[in-house]
Amino acid sequence: LAEKVSTTAEQLKKLIKKVSASYLDVADVQLVGSVAKDTYVGRPDIDIFILFDRSTDRARLEKIGLGIGNKVLLDTEERYAEHPYIHGIFNDFEVDIVPCYDIKNAIQLMSAVDRTPLHTQYVKEHLRHEQHDQVRLLKQFMKGIGAYGAEAKVQGFSGYLTELLVIKYGSFSEVLKASSQWNYGTKISLSEDEQARFSSALTFIDPVDPNRNVASAVSVEQFAKFVYACQVYLSQPSEFFFFPNRRRCMDEHEIRRYFKDTGFKVLVVSAPCPKGIDDNVYPQTRKTMEGIKVLLERHEFDVLDKTFVIDESATILFLLMTDKISICRKHVGPPVYMGNAEDFLKRWRGACIGEPYIEGGRWVVMIKRTHHRAKELLKEEISKASMGSGFKDLEFKVISHDDILTGDFGPYITELLDKRPPWSILVVHP
Ligand code: UTP
Ligand code: MN
Ligand code: MN
């Protein structure tokens, strides 16, 4: 494979150089990413950057860069999260072709991706020969536990971050020893210079740009999972960290047993998945899930847990303490001594259950809720929830507890309820 990877990469680079020769703005074409650094695991994607002269205006950079990508690749897709680039296929390999500005130092930075060629150069210069396999081990470990990838879908560790960790600590096992001791807010760097402060779970100062945190994408969940995985691995190493077993779907019996044991309820909201790339769809779904949670909580439904699954649909699951609460609620008004106390009494006397009464010096009334069933609440008011832009005009289906238990929701419920970390899933032989 290695042979095929490098010849394909060289061949593609040559082709792009040829195609771009007629554009005076193109300063260089470089192979970057894990193929250039020889740190890939499995079948890699090939990352090629087209470096433009810094005097090129951005519209022209995009037009030429994307045009070249579309010309040399098959099945191309224009991807645009922060910065536009082309994803496609060349000789059966996945390829990213990214236009950027040709900079010599991070101070000259003009677009978000301009550092990448500097990263590639830094790793090539600082990663020792025997450390390449150490990076591969670390990448596979992170893939196994589901923490590899800085993209929005994962919110984990980028390839470059794994390389810097090995450069910093020397080897896979030294990285794990150090990581098992990390705390929230841990800051790492490769130099003693004065550096910026970041509020992320983990900070690794970029050696090519002291104003950049290479670990900024790492969420607190992924950070904590990685630290815990390192702790467990060091005391009980096993290949399941690198190659976990597949999670088996919970069957109806197990699911019913869970809800019988806990008394909890599940509520599912599902919509056709918005179109677009993962880097947009995942953040939008998270935002929508958070917005619906806030709506539920505003109506006093206790949300114990939540998750979502993206396939043809976006399916959002909430674990509720209960999905049906009292018909009435307690509404606390102003202190008795305030001028507006009278308005409060006028508003509620006769409209509340029984009489207003005083508690701790304030007026209190018991009044009817607008909704006491979570399902009805969402059916009628989901449009009031704050949502990701792609969800705003979508038709939501709201599915209640009982319909979920009898319906075909096993894989989704498993996602919500099976809390075993990937490395601890043992195969159950039939
Ligand atoms: P990759 O995600 O392909 O990572 O991005 P990698 O280092 O090659 O690791 P693996 O083995 O494929 O997982 C390659 C480089 O391209 C930049 C990234 O910053 C990374 O340094 N890149 C990639 C972007 O800047 N923008 C993109 O949209 C894609
Ligand atoms: Mn890559
Ligand atoms: Mn890539």
Tell me, rounded to whole angstroms, the distance of Cα 248 from its chain centroid: 23
- Which residue owns the Cα nearest ligand 1 atom 15? 33
Residue type, 132: H
Q: How far apart, in whole angstroms, are the C-alpha atoms of residue 97 and residue 87?
A: 6
Looking at residue 412, its pLDDT comes to: 97
Residues in the chain: 430
- Which residue owns the Cα nearest ligand 1 atom 26? 113
* Helix, strand, coil content of the chain in percent (nearest 5): 40, 25, 35
Q: How far apart, in whole angstroms, are the C-alpha atoms of residue 350 and residue 348?
A: 6
177-185: long-range contacts, CB 8 A cutoff, minimum separation 24: 177/230, 177/234, 179/226, 179/227, 179/230, 180/227, 180/230, 180/231, 180/234, 182/223, 182/227, 184/220, 184/223, 184/224
Q: What angle do CA 333, 336, 337 make, to 5 degrees?
A: 130
- Which residue owns the Cα nearest ligand 1 atom 25? 113
- Which residue owns the Cα nearest ligand 1 atom 5? 33
Which stretches in the chain have pLDDT values below 70? 428-430
CA of 68 to the centre of ligand 1 (A): 19
Nearest of 292, 251, 303, 298 to residue 386 by alpha carbon? 292
The DSSP result for 82-137, as a single string, is: SSEEEEEEETTEEEEEEEEE--SSGGG--STTTTHHHHHHHHHHHS-GGGHHHHHH
Looking at residue 429, its pLDDT comes to: 54
Q: Which of 109, 116, 119, 151 to mutate to test the pocket of ligand 1 (most atoms within 8 A of CB)?
A: 116
Contacts of 323 by beta carbon, 8 Å cutoff, 6+ apart? 265, 267, 301, 373, 374, 375, 400, 401
- Which residue owns the Cα nearest ligand 1 atom 20? 33
Q: How far apart, in whole angstroms, are the C-alpha atoms of residue 134 and residue 128?
A: 10
Ligand 1 atom with the shortest distance to the CA of 85: 28
Residue type, 190: L
Extract the tokens encoding 311: 């396939």
CA distances from 220 to 142, 214, 230 (A): 15, 15, 15
Ligand 1 atom with the shortest distance to the CA of 36: 8
Q: How many CB atoms lie within 10 A of CB 289?
A: 23
- Which residue owns the Cα nearest ligand 1 atom 16? 33
CA of 335 to the centre of ligand 3 (A): 61
CA of 275 to the centre of ligand 3 (A): 21
Looking at residue 427, its pLDDT comes to: 79
H/E element, 350: none
CA of 320 to the centre of ligand 2 (A): 40
Instruction: Using the Cα atoms of residue 268, residue 273, residue 277 and residue 283 in order, give the sign of their dihedral.
Output: negative
Largest interatomic CA distance in the chain:
85
Tell me, rounded to whole angstroms, the distance of Cα 170 from its chain centroid: 28
Tell me, rounded to whole angstroms, the distance of Cα 31 from its chain centroid: 27
pTM: 0.94
Extract the tokens encoding 3: 């042979």
Q: Which of 96, 138, 165 to mutate to test the pocket of ligand 1 (most atoms within 8 A of CB)?
A: 96
- Which residue owns the Cα nearest ligand 1 atom 13? 159
β-strand partners of 101? 52
Q: CB within 6 Å of ligand 1 — which residues?
A: 32-34, 40, 44-45, 47, 85, 96, 98, 113, 116, 119, 159-160
Q: Which ligand has its closest atom nearest to the C-alpha of 96?
A: 3
Ligand 1 atom with the shortest distance to the CA of 150: 2
CA of 32 to the centre of ligand 3 (A): 9
